């Protein structure tokens, strides 16, 4: 994957860890190995909201500087974010989402929607508007037929093995 998040030949991935000796071989487990920790998701939220600089991300997540530095480093190493220098003296970097990072935006929106409905008391603290002009209500739909995907509308075709 290039620094701007474009895939290179060979179908390179973002580097999710798969431990085939424990539990089921599963893409969910691999994805959680990349972004499945609270601070990583909050960092990604801030970067997708347009906050690119370390101090901005620290202020808006509440993460300590050492935890934030570790999460940013991991997200860069895994190809979710890229570092881009914005100042030479002193050298300072900002963090931008790669293609892999931008592809996580719908996941974060769905997680926010779930939190709005099942965790947050009162009105949702953050709302988005869709390009159509309506307030966004995220919904997963089948890419083929565009029908809503629900727990009862899918059938298992293949299940990862348990190692």
| Three-state secondary structure call for residue 88 | coil
pLDDT at position 22, please?
72
Query: CATH code at 144?
Result: 1.10.10.10
Half-sphere exposure of 151 (CA within 13 A, CB side): 0
How many domains in the chain?
A: 1
What value does the mean pLDDT of the chain take? 89
- Please, which residues have CB within 8 angstroms of residue 155's CB and are 6 or more apart in sequence? none
Percent of the chain residues topping a pLDDT of 70: 87
Encode pLDDT of 123-145 as tens digits. Answer: 999 999 999 999 999 999 999 99
pLDDT at position 16, please?
53
Domain of residue 25 covers: 1-163
CB atoms within 10 A of CB 74: 19
Mean pLDDT computed over 88-92: 92
| pLDDT exceeds 70 at position 10 | no
| pLDDT exceeds 90 at position 71 | yes
Beta bridge partners of 14: none
73 secondary structure, DSSP code: H
pLDDT at position 128, please?
95
Encode pLDDT of 145-160 as tens digits. Answer: 999 999 999 999 999 9
Tokens representing 88 are 């030479």
Q: How confident is the model at residue 37 (pLDDT cuts 50, 70, 90)?
A: very high
């Amino acid at each position: 994957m290039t620094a701007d998040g474009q895939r290179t030949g060979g179908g390179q991935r973002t580097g999710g860890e798969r431990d085939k000796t424990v539990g089921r071989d599963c893409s969910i487990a691999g994805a959680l190995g990349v972004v499945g920790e609270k601070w990583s998701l909050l960092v990604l939220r801030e970067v997708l909201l347009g906050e690119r600089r370390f101090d901005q991300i620290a202020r808006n997540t509440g993460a300590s500087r050492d935890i934030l530095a570790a999460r940013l480093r991991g997200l860069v190493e895994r190809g979710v974010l890229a570092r881009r220098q914005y100042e030479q003296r002193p050298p300072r970097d900002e963090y931008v989402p790669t293609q892999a990072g931008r592809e996580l935006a719908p996941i974060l929106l769905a997680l926010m929607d779930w939190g709005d409905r099942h965790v947050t008391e009162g009105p949702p603290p953050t709302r988005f508007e869709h390009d159509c002009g309506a307030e966004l209500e995220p919904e997963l739909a089948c890419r083929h037929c565009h029908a809503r995907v629900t727990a009862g509308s899918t059938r298992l075709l293949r299940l990862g093995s348990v190692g």
